[in-house]
């Protein structure tokens, strides 16, 4: 996915906005809190990077799903011989947060 990045600095306070280039939907907005507390500031920056990693991971999963769907459409995988990890997993999306189900490996479930 591609994004339009709007980074600004207003009165010394940085903010970041990522907008999906195809849909025009705002995918992420972050603004540094107005605080002098170092602990709160570090938490805010870590939260930004955590959200960026989650956004990138979600985009990667969408691209991988589209790629696999295209391969199935070309006849590369038949429905009977499809590997278990290719079964589509449902995802719920709300705002810019993507919730993905977690599968546990192993016998104990």
Mind listing the pLDDT tens digit for each residue in 91-100? Answer: 544 455 555 5
Q: Kindly state the helix (H) or strand (E) to which residue 98 belongs, with its residue range.
A: strand 97-99
DSSP secondary structure letter of residue 39: H
CB 3 within 8 A of CB 27: yes
Share of the chain above pLDDT 90, in %: 25
pLDDT recorded at residue 94: 44
- Summarised one tens digit per residue, pLDDT across range 67-101 is 777 777 665 554 544 455 444 445 544 455 555 56
Please check the confidence at residue 49 and state whether its pLDDT lies above 90. yes
**Cα 12 from chain centre:** 28
In DSSP terms, 65 is beta-bridged to none
Q: Average pLDDT over the chain, rounded to whole?
A: 75
């Amino acid at each position: 996915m591609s994004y339009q990045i709007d980074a600004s600095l207003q009165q010394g306070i940085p903010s970041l906005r990522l907008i999906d280039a195809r849909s025009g939907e705002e995918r992420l907005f972050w603004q540094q809190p107005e605080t002098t507390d170092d602990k709160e500031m570090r938490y805010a920056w870590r939260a930004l990077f955590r959200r960026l990693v989650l956004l990138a991971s979600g985009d990667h999963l969408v691209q991988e799903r589209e790629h696999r769907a295209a391969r199935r459409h070309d006849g590369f995988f038949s429905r009977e011989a499809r590997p278990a990890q290719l079964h589509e997993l449902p995802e719920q999306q709300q705002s810019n947060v993507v919730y993905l189900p977690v599968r546990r490996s192993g016998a104990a479930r």
